């Protein structure tokens, strides 16, 4: 039921964004009288998706055929590739990276800030690599900015609307992640202001990535300092409130384990938490694995049950049939390091191949759809690429909200946004800008002038998210969910209007 409800909710929201994008694009086509087969830019200077589609192989459909329904084939292929990427990252890539971290004897914090962060951001990283080096457009940066919008507002909206109970949000991690993310957004907006990215600007992003990791390493000390400040601020409270708090502590210790109410940094770094809970979506429909008497998992059982056992229920059966080709293809080409751990280096390489190829096909399909409806690369990245790549986070948010751990979903979403900007933008930009001109290197031209305003709008949205949570007394419920949904649809509409120059 959770999976079906989540899929329905995301499909409706995805359809709203698609309809809005196509409607505004149609109005823009009527306003701007241009021959898009020769003209490469619109009145805002944004490179259109047609210029990007020229960098990919030819299409089996003509532009007229795509306009009369052929584009649905490309939308389906892109959606299926999103599923492939989600399966690869969830079932193979993340366990492989976990094996690497174990062999290197890395702590949880270091693993989360390095390998796990790279693993969870791989789809966005490849999208920006393709946008930077292949299409040389705003497709990648649009995907990163769009996924940030979805993670900031869409993920809390999904979780809040689907929440079966009223959940108390933890103030400290929410304030910490919102503050860090707003600073990163401000830095990105300053870099996008002159519409050029230079090597020292990309270097700043990478340096900030390491600073972010250091901050997370020191999170426990920061949390203790914050608690001291809160204790001093609450020193004037009534003795009744203090006695009540002490009573809560004694009640929690009655089970032999005291569970503090504040976020624990040693649980896992935000990115590694995000990675772990990506698996919860798949575990809902996955049969349980039998264990032998000595507690060891049988080597052949996971693959046999995953591929051969049909699930119960009509919807589960339809999903099983729909994703069976993906499961078979991955089972034949990528060894499962959870079963054959020694093969994890080969698994790592094959995962990179699958993610790279799938990201390339997604970018290709998105560019063709954008060409068909004369939609700019940045808009396509903000809508199609962003929502498709963020579906696992949305589904995970729904599941976590029903389990009563919504604070983790919001913290992970905001932390993922920070990593996407610092790592997925900083690394490709750094490689591009330090390459010699003979190899196509040099400063990167940002084609869409609206990206800087969209980034600035996100700062306001993060502030509104925190203020809305505070006004709601930091309770995570359907009220906060619908507020986030309204803000998300409003922001996406504003971004599309800015990008299509309808102002």
- Give a yes or no: residue 9 inside a domain: yes
- Give a yes or no: residue 108 inside a domain: yes
Higher pLDDT, 243 or 170: 170
pLDDT at res. 183: 93
Q: Which of 1-10, 74-83, 111-120, 255-264 has the lowest mean pLDDT?
A: 255-264
Q: Does the structure show a pLDDT above 70 at 15?
A: no
pLDDT at res. 89: 79
Stretch 75-99: mean pLDDT: 85
- Residue 479 · residue 473 · CB < 8 Å: no
Q: Does the structure show a pLDDT above 60 at 33?
A: no
Q: Does the structure show a pLDDT above 50 at 263?
A: no
pLDDT at res. 352: 82
**Block residue for tokens 């601020």:** 233
Stretch 280-287: mean pLDDT: 42
Q: Which two tokens stand for residue 405?
A: 């751990």
- Residue 376: pLDDT band by 50, 70, 90 thresholds? confident
Q: Does the structure show a pLDDT above 50 at 48?
A: no
pLDDT at res. 247: 44
Higher pLDDT, 201 or 45: 201
Average pLDDT over the chain reads 70
pLDDT at res. 114: 57
- Give a yes or no: residue 95 inside a domain: yes
- Give a yes or no: residue 460 inside a domain: no
- Residue 255: pLDDT band by 50, 70, 90 thresholds? very low
pLDDT at res. 187: 92
In the chain, the percentage of residues whose pLDDT exceeds 90 is: 5
pLDDT at res. 208: 92
Closest CA relative to residue 382, chosen from 126, 79, 142 = 142
| Parent domain of 380 | 2-165+263-287+302-404+445-455+476-499
CA–CA gap between residue 450 and residue 295 (Å, rounded): 57
Rg of the chain's alpha carbons, rounded to an integer? Answer: 23
DSSP assignment letter at 167: E
Q: Which of 166-170, 215-219, 238-242 has the lowest mean pLDDT?
A: 238-242
pLDDT at res. 186: 92
Stretch 388-417: mean pLDDT: 72
- Give a yes or no: residue 123 inside a domain: yes
Give every CB contact of residue 461 below 8 A, 6+ residues apart in sequence. Answer: 149, 152, 153, 487, 491
Model confidence over 89-138: pLDDT tens digits? 778 887 887 888 788 776 655 565 556 656 667 777 777 777 777 766 66
- Give a yes or no: residue 342 inside a domain: yes
pLDDT at res. 280: 42
- Residue 378 · residue 447 · CB < 8 Å: yes
**Block residue for tokens 């729904």:** 398
pLDDT at res. 138: 62
Q: DSSP letters of 439-497? A: GT-SPEE---THHHHHHHHHHHHHHHHHHHHHHTTTEESHHHHHHHHHHHHHHHHHHHH
Q: Does the structure show a pLDDT above 60 at 494?
A: yes
Q: Does the structure show a pLDDT above 50 at 23?
A: no
CA–CA gap between residue 319 and residue 104 (Å, rounded): 38
Number of separate domains in the chain = 1
- Give a yes or no: residue 239 inside a domain: no
Model confidence over 178-198: pLDDT tens digits? 899 999 999 998 988 888 889
In the chain, the percentage of residues whose pLDDT exceeds 70 is: 63
Q: Is 376 helix (H, G, I), strand (E, B) or coil?
A: strand
**Block residue for tokens 């803000």:** 487
- CA 85 to chain CA centroid, Å, is 12
- Give a yes or no: residue 180 inside a domain: no
- Residue 451: pLDDT band by 50, 70, 90 thresholds? confident
CA–CA gap between residue 92 and residue 104 (Å, rounded): 19
Q: Which of 49-53, 315-319, 341-345 has the lowest mean pLDDT?
A: 49-53
Q: Which of 94-98, 383-387, 390-394, 405-409 has the highest mean pLDDT?
A: 94-98
- Residue 346: pLDDT band by 50, 70, 90 thresholds? very high
Q: Does the structure show a pLDDT above 90 at 388?
A: no
Q: Does the structure show a pLDDT above 80 at 326?
A: yes
Q: Is 168 helix (H, G, I), strand (E, B) or coil?
A: strand
Q: Does the structure show a pLDDT above 80 at 209?
A: yes
């Amino acid at each position: 039921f959770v999976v079906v409800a989540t899929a329905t909710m995301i499909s409706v929201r995805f359809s709203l964004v698609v309809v809005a994008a196509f409607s505004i694009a149609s109005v823009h086509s009527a306003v701007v009288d241009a021959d898009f087969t020769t003209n490469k830019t619109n009145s805002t200077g944004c490179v259109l998706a047609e210029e990007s589609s020229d960098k990919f192989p030819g299409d089996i459909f003509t532009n007229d055929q795509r306009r009369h329904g052929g584009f649905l084939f490309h939308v389906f292929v892109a959606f299926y590739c999103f599923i492939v990427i989600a399966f690869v990252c969830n079932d193979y890539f993340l366990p492989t990276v976990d094996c690497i971290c174990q062999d290197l004897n890395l702590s949880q914090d270091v693993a989360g800030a390095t390998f796990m962060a790279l693993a969870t951001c791989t789809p966005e990283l490849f999208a920006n690599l393709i946008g930077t080096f292949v299409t040389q457009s705003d497709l990648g940066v649009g995907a990163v900015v769009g996924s940030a919008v979805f993670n900031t507002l869409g993920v809390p909206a999904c979780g809040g609307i689907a929440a079966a109970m009223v959940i108390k949000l933890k103030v400290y991690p929410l304030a910490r992640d919102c503050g860090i993310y707003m600073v990163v957004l401000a830095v990105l907006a300053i870099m996008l202001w002159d519409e050029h990215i230079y090597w020292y600007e990309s270097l700043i992003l990478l340096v900030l990535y390491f600073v972010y990791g250091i901050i997370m390493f020191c999170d426990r000390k920061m949390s203790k300092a914050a608690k001291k400040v809160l204790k001093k601020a609450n020193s004037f409270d009534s003795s009744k409130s203090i006695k009540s708090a002490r009573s809560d502590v004694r009640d929690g210790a009655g089970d032999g384990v005291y569970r503090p109410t504040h976020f624990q940094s040693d649980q896992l770094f935000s990115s590694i938490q995000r990675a772990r809970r990506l698996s919860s979506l798949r575990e809902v429909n996955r049969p349980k694995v039998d264990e032998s008497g000595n507690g060891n998992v049988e080597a052949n059982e996971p693959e046999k049950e995953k591929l051969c056992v049909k699930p119960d229920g009509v919807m589960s059966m339809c999903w099983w049939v729909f994703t069976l080709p993906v499961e078979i293809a991955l089972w034949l080409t990528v060894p499962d390091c959870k079963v054959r751990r020694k093969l994890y280096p080969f698994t790592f390489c094959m995962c990179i191949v699958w993610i790279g190829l799938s990201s390339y096909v997604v970018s290709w399909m998105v560019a063709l759809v954008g060409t068909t409806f004369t939609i700019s690369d940045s808009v396509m990245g903000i809508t199609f690429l962003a929502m498709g790549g963020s579906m696992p986070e949305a589904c995970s948010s729904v599941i976590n909200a029903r389990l009563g751990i919504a604070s983790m979903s919001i913290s992970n979403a905001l932390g993922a946004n920070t990593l996407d900007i610092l790592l997925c933008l900083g690394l490709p930009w750094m490689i591009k800008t330090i390459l010699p001109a003979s190899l196509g290197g040099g400063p990167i031209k940002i084609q869409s002038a609206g990206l800087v305003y969209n980034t600035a709008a996100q700062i306001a949205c993060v502030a509104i998210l925190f203020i809305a949570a505070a006004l709601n007394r930091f309770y995570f419920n359907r009220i906060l969910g619908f507020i986030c949904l309204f803000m998300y649809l409003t922001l996406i509409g504003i971004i599309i209007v800015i990008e299509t120059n309808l102002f």
